[in-house]
Structure 1
């Protein structure tokens, strides 16, 4: 089994890139740090770094270890924090990564239920899109994702399909296209779109959608970090958006509805994604069971 102190030394070098800076951070001498690295490399039987004029550069073996070692540190810190919380009568913490549709569909009710039934549970919701949430999941910074599942399979990620979702075009009643009985793709291509910041998946889908019809995608004229702000910008009548049909009930409260188009840009499978573990986190199981109950009640 790998020594945790050796992993701490290893990660310090990964972070600081030089032995001198890493040794200063750890408050040990450089020779002592070098000795720890050699011991770790000897235990594994592979080189972890290349020593260059620019600093310590990870080898392929080192990159693999760095990923796992960070997760080990995060899990150790999480275990420490949860044990302290349990000593005080708590049941743990849960960090949920939430794609746009989930922020207004099912997730609020699930979190409210968990708060009622497990008053000491601490829940943090991290809004985002796949391009921002997946790296956080892989780094162990979120426990579970509620998101689209049409990303490439990953050895470390377990997916659970729950819903189908179709993107629709949304506009406020004051937008010029809202009164049209039929909105063409050419009409859409001349509009200003607003969407979530860094939502490259939707931008790619838009590009394909318009390209197949011989048109350039308008892209996003504005980006926002939350679905609420996206919809608020649509509600000004200046922008339109493409969003999952599950957000419609919420959008209609702002005077927003679907445009009369023949098709949307995207249909996808949504659900849960989490890191594969020998034993699932109890708080994630609590969350999953509550989500499934609300999903079945809504169907």
Structure 2
């Protein structure tokens, strides 16, 4: 089985048609058709079937496609590693991070790495959790610093950095800011600024309301953007949003509500995610070490973590 044929298989699966796959690959349609036929002869089963949506993988096809994606990424890793060694560009660090992760930890680690390795270069992506996982699994980044998913993700390894807690925050003039022991029931009539429902942060708070038999938060604004945008849109309004522990000291215009952790448990695990068994350049491994060292040195208040 040739790596080249597996690339053609992935193109057909991704585009849903032999014709579109051939256009993407810059090949003729018969050449791609022959490649798929070769694979089908090797496995002894059809890999695709046609329906109104186009070329749809069979059960055997889906299994081979999953393997092919892994082989493709491994092949790209090997080519990249050898290319970096040949070109002397082993100092490139490609990593993504969540906007709700502690900026001081991330930027401090990057600055330390730059001091230690002056030749290091960074490609950084600030994205929400699901987008980061997609970039990681797609091979666009080598490393992600974000919330560790509550369920295991295939082909992804996670190392815990620290535990933190999110807070419900409001403008300093909001009437709930000065109330003690705010109940979850008190929040049902409030309006919220939240990320899209696909984001684990949004799911977490909606699940908390649902577990108490309460309707989901009333959405005033849904924003698929970074932390600063969400927090800025709450300033001067009666809306609520969520804020990480790390960002609270810098937010003079927002205040956390006094909600007991047992009423709304917003603790989470922040960690380093990477593809299981993927190639990590030495400079990337050093960044991992620095993140762990700096995370261990940060003192976190137990009472604030619930």
Indicate the TM-score class for this superposition, using the shorter chain for normalisation.
0.7 to 0.9
Runs of 4 or more, structure 1, over 6 Å off, are: none
Distance of 2:254 and 2:236 partners within structure 1? 10
1:161-180 → structure 2 map (5 Å cutoff): 161-180=160-179
Q: TM-score, normalised by structure 1?
A: 0.84
Q: CA deviation at 1:289?
A: 0.4
Q: Which residue of 2 aligns with 1:121?
A: 120
1:150-189 → structure 2 map (5 Å cutoff): 150-189=149-188
Distance of 2:204 and 2:148 partners within structure 1? 15
- Tell me, yes or no, if structure 1 residue 65 matches structure 2 residue 64: yes
Distance of 2:68 and 2:157 partners within structure 1? 20
CA separation of 1:147/1:29 partners in 2, compared to 1, >3 Å: closer, same or farther? closer
Instruction: Report if aligned partners of 1:82, 1:92 keep a CA contact under 8 Å in 2.
Output: no
Structure 2: runs of 5+ lacking an equivalent? 300-306
Q: CA deviation at 1:180?
A: 2.8
Q: Which residue of 1 aligns with 2:260?
A: 262
Q: Which residue of 2 aligns with 1:271?
A: 271
Partner of 1:43, secondary structure, is: helix
Partner of 2:13, secondary structure, is: helix
1:228-267 → structure 2 map (5 Å cutoff): 228-250=228-250, 252=251, 254-263=252-261, 264-267=264-267
CA separation of 1:244/1:71 partners in 2, compared to 1, >3 Å: closer, same or farther? same
The CA deviation string for residues 85-140 of structure 1, in whole angstroms up to 9 with x for no partner, is 55554324333232233252411211222223223333233223333322332222
Distance of 2:219 and 2:288 partners within structure 1? 34
CA separation of 1:175/1:74 partners in 2, compared to 1, >3 Å: closer, same or farther? same
Q: Root-mean-square deviation (CA), in Å?
A: 2.8
Instruction: Report if aligned partners of 2:192, 2:221 keep a CA contact under 8 Å in 1.
Output: yes
Q: Which residue of 2 aligns with 1:193?
A: 192
Distance of 2:257 and 2:53 partners within structure 1? 56
CA separation of 1:25/1:100 partners in 2, compared to 1, >3 Å: closer, same or farther? closer
Aligned residue-pair number: 296
The CA deviation string for residues 196-220 of structure 1, in whole angstroms up to 9 with x for no partner, is 3445423333233234444322243
